[in-house]
Amino acid sequence: MNILHMKYAVEVARLGSLNKASESLLIAQPNISRSIKELEADLGITIFNRSAKGMVLTPDGEEFINYAHEIIKQIDQVEMLYKKGVQKKQKFSISVPRACYISEAFAQFSKSIESGHAEIFYKETNSQRTIHNVMDRDYKLGIIRYAENYDKYFKAMLEEKGLFYELVAEFSYILLMSRENPLAAKETITFNDLTPYIEIAHADPYVPSLPLSKVVKEELPDNIDRRIFIFERASQFDLLSENPQTFMWVSPTPAKILARYNLVQRKCVDNQKIYKDVLIYREGYKLSKLDKQFITALCASKREYLDGGRR
Q: Is the pLDDT of residue 163 over 50?
A: yes
pLDDT value at position 83?
Answer: 66
Strands 174-178, 246-250: pairing is antiparallel
Query: How far, in Å, CA of 153 to CA of 149, rounded?
Result: 9
What does the alpha-carbon distance between residue 277 and residue 236 come to, in Å, rounded to a whole number?
Answer: 21
Does the pLDDT at position 210 exceed 70? no
DSSP tag of 262: T
pLDDT per position as a tens digit, 35-93: 999 999 999 999 999 888 789 999 999 999 999 999 998 888 777 766 665 556 789 99
User: Which residues in 131-151 are b (16+ Cβ under 10 Å) and which e?
Assistant: bebbeeeebbbbbbbbbeebe
Max Cα distance, the chain (Å): 98
Q: What is the distance between the alpha carbons of residues 109 and 128, in angstroms, rounded to a whole number? A: 25
Q: Could you please report the per-residue DSSP string of 89-136?
A: PEEEEEEE-S-HHHHHHHHHHHTTPPSS-EEEEEEE--HHHHHHHHHT
Whether residue 310 has pLDDT greater than 60: no
Closest CA to 27 of 7, 57, 2: 7
CA nearest neighbour of 18 among 70, 56, 46: 56
Assign 233 to helix, strand or coil: helix
One-letter amino acid identity for 95? S
Residue 205: name the closest of 191, 223, 217 by CA: 217
pLDDT at 218 over 60: yes
Cα separations (Å) of 129 from 134, 157, 158, 283?
Answer: 9, 14, 13, 18
Q: Which of 24-38, 123-137, 217-231, 267-281 has the lowest mean pLDDT?
A: 217-231
Cα 183 versus chain centre, distance: 37
Query: What is d(CA 207, CA 295) in angstroms, rounded to the nearest whole number?
Result: 25
The pLDDT-based confidence of 192 (bands split at 50, 70, 90) is very high
Q: At what angle do helices 289-302 and 100-110 cross, to 10 degrees?
A: 130
Q: Which residues of 223-244 are buried (b: 16+ CB within 10 A; e: fewer)?
A: ebeeeeebeebeebbebbbebb
Length in residues, the chain: 311
User: 180: how many CB neighbours lie within 10 A of its CB?
Assistant: 15
pLDDT of residue 291 exceeding 90: yes
Q: Where in the chain is the domain with CATH 3.40.190.10?
A: 173-272
Confidence (pLDDT) at 311: 38
Structure-model confidence comparison of residues 205 and 175, the more confident one: 175
Q: Which pLDDT score is estimated for 209?
A: 63
- Rounded to two decimals, the pTM is 0.69
CATH 1.10.10.10 residue window(s) in the chain: 3-82
Percent of the chain with pLDDT over 70: 91
The pLDDT, as a whole number, for residue 171 is 93
Other Cβ atoms less than 10 A from the Cβ of 107: the count is 12
Tell me the CATH number of domain 92-162+280-311, given options 1.10.3470, 2.40.10, 3.40.190, 1.20.1630. Answer: 3.40.190
CATH architecture, range 173-272: 3-Layer(aba) Sandwich (3.40)
Q: What percent of the chain has pLDDT over 90?
A: 68
> What is the CA angle 285-289-290, rounded to 5?
95
Amino acid code (one letter) for 36: I
Supply the DSSP symbol for 304: I
238 falls in which pLDDT band (50, 70, 90)?
A: very high
* CATH number for the segment(s) 3-82: 1.10.10.10
The whole-chain average pLDDT of the chain stands at 89
- What are the residues facing 44 on neighbouring strands? none
